[in-house]
Structure 1
Amino acid sequence: MTFYRIFFFYIIFWTAVVSPTPILNRGYKPKTNVFNFTIEKVTLAPDGFTRQLSTVNGQYPGPAIEVNKGDRIVMNINNKLGEPTAIHAHGMLQRGTPWFDGVPWMAQCVIPDDYEFTYNFSVSDQVGTHWYHAHETMQYVDGVFGPLIIHDPDDPYKSEYDEEIIVMLNDYHHTNAQILLKQFLTPESQGVEPVPDNGLINGKSNFDCSKAPPGSKCVDNAGLAKFEFVKDKKYRLRIINTSAFSAFFFSIDKHEMEVIEADGLYTKRNKIHRLPINVAQRYSVIVTANQPVDNYIMRSEFQKKCMPDAAASLPIMKAIVHYEGAPDDPEPKDNPWSDSLTECVDLDHKTLQPLKEEKIPESTKKLELTIAFHKNTTGVVRAFLNDSSYIPDINFPTLDKIFKKSPFNDTSANAYIFDKPGEVVDIYLINTDDGEHPFHIHGYQFWVLGTGNGDKVDENDLNTLNPIKRDTATIPATGFFEKEEIMTVLLGVQESDKKVNKKNSV
């Protein structure tokens, strides 16, 4: 395993993200939406424990970006952190604008301190629930993140809910993430990840201050997030896991949920009581306020089987669902769902189906990636893909190399080149580690075809008829079966556009 279970396994498929694919809504005139963000450090106490956080406009979480399909997003970043930064819009494919993907030393150089930089891209063919966050070291773990919502005028479920609510879940550390990262990247850590001190829902939670270190500034009962429901109304909850490391089970006591979206793509109705959601994943669920007028607990439970043993004492994250007309109650009765779910795996891909049938093209190439975590030559535990641990070239970003047709001679670049237009790739991911790992490919939504145990996958067991497509999926841990877990994803590579816009390059 690796600290914060990094879900950005860098496989280079840049030819896909360079090609613009404008699809505009009929009758809708796209707008340009400008967001002025100052990235700065402020002192806050989201759960009652006071500490310095890295924030967007002084807010934790950061302000929401909400636009319509077809619009343009302009993010003016004023970096006042005292250190370099970069901002990634998670879930945005960046077709035609890969230089605005926000990954340091991949898509761009970092934004220096006391410097302004503009991200400018359109969302002509995307909808749904996404988020933005800092992508330099562990800055988003200290607070540089916020929701990014693309509303769809043609939403097939639009008539089936009355209001929308954004719900952001995250694990939370009281120690600066840079300090934790420095401690983790030592031989002494033995690759055991730091355990969070708490968890938050929409940036709020309570913390038991008796557990705070001596000399800390801490206040008990800081307050929980509160969500207002009106009897018999229907709500679309847009749920986003912005954690560093933790997967959760999300639920609302006595309220059933219907999943209608996963990672920006519509799904068929899927009734559930408890929703498993891993790092960087997003779901939309419809919840009907059909219970007696009262107060209910919204809960997010750590999936502790895929965390270090020290996580056993972590509390359940709670918020309050308050029905209009009910008296205020800071501690509603516990009525949790009793469903037993397997931890550290995604919502069953066999029941999570796309709204519209997905026809899978025949693959033209197969790629097998073995995931391993072991000590490097300095005794520090690192992540390896096919025996190579990624090292960025801070003097020559990957995208610049591609446009200049420079070779990838260093194996630490972990570069897998697919440059034939229309190529379709089957990716076999073999996890030899005892921890699950979120897997995300920038610039892509991929079909999740299945998981299996053993060194080889039985092709007959793969779901090729109507698989779910998403941009972040969980590779299960080896501990669930006797042998390695294998997840297969399928993606296509599109024709590239070699034009480069040098404006705003840092």
Structure 2
Amino acid sequence: MENLVTSLVIYFSLLVFAFNVHVMAQWPKGTSTRFYDFKVQTKRITKLCNSKDIAVVNGMFPGPVVYAREGDRIVVNVTNETPFNITIHWHGVRQILSCWYDGPSYVTQCPIQSGQRFTYEFTMVKQKGTFFWHAHVSWLRATVHGALIVYPKTGVPYPFKTPHEEHIIILGEYWVKDVVQLERATIDSGGAPPPADAYTINGQPGPNYNCSKQDVDKIDVVPGKTYLLRLIHAGLNTQNFFAIANHKLTIVEADAEYTKPFTTDRVMLGPGQTMNVLVIANQPIGRYSMAMGPYMSAKGVQFQNISSISYFQYLSTNLNSLSLTPTLPSFNDNLAVKTVMDGLRSLNPVNLSKEIDANLFVTVGLNVQKCQSKTPKQNCQGLNHGVMAASMNNISFVKPKISVLEAYYKKINGSFTEDFPKAPLNFYDFVNGAPNNIPNNTQSLNGTKTIVLEYGSNVRLIFQDTGTVSTENHPIHLHGYSFYVVGYGSGNYDPKTANFNLVDPPYMNTIGVPVGGWAAVQFVADNPGVWFMHCHLDIHQSWGLGTAIIVKNGKGDLQTLPQPPADLPRFEAKSVSTSRSISPVTEKAKSTGQPVLPQPVNRSGRPVLLNGYLIRLLNNENLKFVSIGQPLRSTGSGQRAKIRPLDSELK
């Protein structure tokens, strides 16, 4: 009887909590509320013959999978138990009216300090597919990442035949050295970073690397069955080809949006991109390698040229049998990349407006700033004894000491300006002009300059690659939005000859701007807030290749950014780094006690009263909730949930 009463108290308390938290009309309510608990911790692991401490979530690398359905509300309580500052970004989630929970450090929030907590809350509004979450501070994404899988609403089928099984495949990069120290050393040197020591598939390097014969991931398959592979690129500085020996890949989704089926021998993903592919197990019984190899379009850049291997293995295969290895394209095969991009089309026709309210022309590329250090041998190791930088329209983005969103919302002066140029200050032969025809002032300027858009405006962005240092494919990601990729091509963009697809362009959140070329994207600015737009190659982001877009409020609550949550991490001056782009690292928490759970608030910022038992319940590290009264199916300590959960668990 006591257990029954306790259960009823928990149940009704959660109902009251959900009602109070989501009572305001301007916030999407969600169909079900799914609770997750993230503890960011350090863990010692051994790979590539070396041991080191890495940052992970819940002791897992890659981290735990977050499951939901379209329309669900997701609540994730993040506790930072590492000595580092941390934020979590929910990559590809549009964060409708929930910009405060987007996650990029010093853009939408200050980091979660060591020993502190922050609760992320957002709704999957009209979104489903393969997403992922990752740290958005320093280079911690290397090990702090995991999948976010959002299924269609109950009863809504896929637009393709239901696969026999689904598997998550996360592509990554691994360094033997500490990645936070590595980024700091790279910035301090003024030069380029060393390449990754290994590529990884689901955290495993595979047998091609030293001490890694047993560190290999595999998928067991049944002859004749169809498998859905959810590919996620969580790596830092390299784009990669992916293929399975003797098997075709049929693309059915890109960046969490359905596409017309397109069959190919291989795909290419840049950091930040996701892709769903169908694979039919139609080959003789055996072991077939899934290979991840480099795509490096820039000249003179060091990269890891050894492929990571995992296995697509048929049941009953002799464990001692050799694996067949796919032939990947050459590391600089731009045509192979274009072929995949050419095959991407939205599943259904779209009706895009030809009337554009905001036209922006944005150059992307690398720069070399003049050496101003008194110790140039230590700090000016870039090209021509300069300091490497990167920019959009010749502006290298500097993250402020307080988040741009908080400064904008609270009207705090001095943190940013609203004068990002709508076009480069100088036009020249962007692609072929190096080195003779480039203006002398193409050294980038440092600043926190933002783009400002009116609510509801139709926006077209033209991204132009430049050859100031070297032309290169840049995976550009826009937070808070997906956009239609209406055109792309080689050379300098020419509006007289550019062809736009306004019928069925792919709908993406990360676009690879072609090496020595351009890409055009289009979207409606209907989500108020401050949204980071940046290259997803982390070294380029560290060098300043990004900016922030401010979308103004519209009319009424449904077009107005709500006020910040009460537990939003606070700025602490002592922890801020003076480096251009490195987010700060804090000292270890002095307190030996458990951090206090932030008091829940409703969307007006008023505290929600919960009974003491529920507070203790929510603070219990051994208890998770997927939805009210329904625990998440455990996959065992340290194991990934690679196969789709039971439908009964996602009702």
TM-score, with structure 2 as normaliser: 0.67
State yes or no: 1:179 paired with 2:186: no
Matched-pair contact (CA < 8 Å) for 2:297–2:334 = no
Q: Distance in 2 between matches of 1:107 and 1:48?
A: 39
Aligned to 2:610: none
Q: Deviations over 1:161-196 (max 9, x none)?
A: 12111011112211111222123214552xx34211
Q: Distance in 2 between matches of 1:20 and 1:288?
A: 45
Shift of 1:250: 0.8
Shift of 1:442: 0.4
Q: Deviations over 1:28-62 (max 9, x none)?
A: xx222111111111111245532221111111111
Which has the greater radius of gyration?
2
Q: Deviations over 1:455-495 (max 9, x none)?
A: 533355122222111000101222xxxxxx22111111114
Match for residue 399 of structure 1 among 405, 413, 434: 405
Aligned to 1:278: 270
Structure 1 residue identity aligned to 2:369 = N
Shift of 1:501: 4.0
Aligned to 1:118: 119
Matched-pair contact (CA < 8 Å) for 2:224–2:282 = yes
Matched-pair contact (CA < 8 Å) for 2:345–2:506 = yes
- Residues 344 and 183 (structure 1), Cα distance of their counterparts in 2 relative to 1, 3 Å cut: farther
Match for residue 496 of structure 2 among 458, 469, 490: 458
State yes or no: 1:328 paired with 2:319: yes
- Residues 299 and 208 (structure 1), Cα distance of their counterparts in 2 relative to 1, 3 Å cut: closer
Q: Does the residue aligned with 2:161 lie in a helix, a strand or coil?
A: helix
- Residues 33 and 415 (structure 1), Cα distance of their counterparts in 2 relative to 1, 3 Å cut: same
Q: Does the residue aligned with 2:395 lie in a helix, a strand or coil?
A: coil
Q: Does the residue aligned with 2:398 lie in a helix, a strand or coil?
A: coil
Aligned to 2:439: none
Q: Distance in 1 between matches of 2:336 and 2:185?
A: 25
Q: Distance in 2 between matches of 1:317 and 1:422?
A: 45
Q: Deviations over 1:201-253 (max 9, x none)?
A: 1111246776xxxxxxxx35233101010111111100001110111111111
Q: Distance in 2 between matches of 1:310 and 1:388?
A: 25
Q: Distance in 2 between matches of 1:307 and 1:394?
A: 35
Aligned to 2:251: 259
Equivalent residues, number: 463
Structure 1 residue identity aligned to 2:50 = F
Q: Distance in 1 between matches of 2:567 and 2:336?
A: 41
Q: Distance in 2 between matches of 1:20 and 1:447?
A: 26
Q: Distance in 1 between matches of 2:136 and 2:339?
A: 27
Structure 2 residue identity aligned to 1:422 = G
Aligned to 1:383: 390
Shift of 1:323: 0.8
Matched-pair contact (CA < 8 Å) for 1:47–1:222 = no
Matched-pair contact (CA < 8 Å) for 2:243–2:326 = no
Q: Distance in 2 between matches of 1:417 and 1:79?
A: 33
Is 41-50 or 314-323 further displaced after alignment? Answer: 41-50
Q: Distance in 2 between matches of 1:443 and 1:423?
A: 15
Q: Distance in 1 between matches of 2:417 and 2:498?
A: 37
1:337-352 mapped onto 2 (5 Å cutoff): 342=334, 345=337, 348-352=340-344
Matched-pair contact (CA < 8 Å) for 2:97–2:561 = no
- Residues 308 and 239 (structure 1), Cα distance of their counterparts in 2 relative to 1, 3 Å cut: farther
- Residues 21 and 431 (structure 1), Cα distance of their counterparts in 2 relative to 1, 3 Å cut: farther
State yes or no: 1:367 paired with 2:402: no
Q: Deviations over 1:355-387 (max 9, x none)?
A: 111221121120111223223354421112222
Q: Which runs of 5+ in 1 are unaligned?
A: 1-18, 25-29, 211-218, 479-484
Structure 2 residue identity aligned to 1:443 = G
Q: Does the residue aligned with 1:456 lie in a helix, a strand or coil?
A: coil
Matched-pair contact (CA < 8 Å) for 1:259–1:270 = yes
Shift of 1:448: 0.9
Q: Which runs of 5+ in 2 are unaligned?
A: 1-24, 373-385, 420-446, 527-553, 570-651
Matched-pair contact (CA < 8 Å) for 2:205–2:212 = no
Aligned to 2:59: 58
Q: Deviations over 1:141-161 (max 9, x none)?
A: 2x1111111011424335331
- Residues 117 and 344 (structure 1), Cα distance of their counterparts in 2 relative to 1, 3 Å cut: farther
Aligned to 1:214: none
Aligned to 1:416: 451
Is 166-175 or 368-377 further displaced after alignment? Answer: 368-377
Structure 1 residue identity aligned to 2:417 = N
Aligned to 1:490: 522
Aligned to 1:238: 230
Matched-pair contact (CA < 8 Å) for 2:244–2:325 = no
State yes or no: 1:151 paired with 2:151: yes
TM-score, with structure 1 as normaliser: 0.85
Note the aligned Cα RMSD (angstroms). Answer: 2.5
Q: Does the residue aligned with 2:450 lie in a helix, a strand or coil?
A: coil
Shift of 1:138: 1.1
Is 429-438 or 121-130 further displaced after alignment? Answer: 429-438
Shift of 1:337: 6.8
Q: Does the residue aligned with 1:110 lie in a helix, a strand or coil?
A: coil
Q: Deviations over 1:76-123 (max 9, x none)?
A: 111011121111010111101110001111111110101111111111
- Residues 472 and 426 (structure 1), Cα distance of their counterparts in 2 relative to 1, 3 Å cut: same
Q: Deviations over 1:255-295 (max 9, x none)?
A: 11110000010001101110111111000011111111211
Q: Does the residue aligned with 1:285 lie in a helix, a strand or coil?
A: strand
Q: Percent same amino acid at aligned positions?
A: 24
- Residues 167 and 244 (structure 1), Cα distance of their counterparts in 2 relative to 1, 3 Å cut: same
Matched-pair contact (CA < 8 Å) for 1:440–1:472 = yes
- Residues 460 and 437 (structure 1), Cα distance of their counterparts in 2 relative to 1, 3 Å cut: closer
Shift of 1:22: 5.1
Matched-pair contact (CA < 8 Å) for 1:49–1:174 = yes
Match for residue 353 of structure 1 among 338, 345, 348: 345
- Residues 364 and 67 (structure 1), Cα distance of their counterparts in 2 relative to 1, 3 Å cut: same
1:69-108 mapped onto 2 (5 Å cutoff): 69-108=70-109
Matched-pair contact (CA < 8 Å) for 2:75–2:122 = yes
1:440-479 mapped onto 2 (5 Å cutoff): 440-452=477-489, 453-458=491-496, 460-478=498-516
Matched-pair contact (CA < 8 Å) for 1:128–1:264 = yes
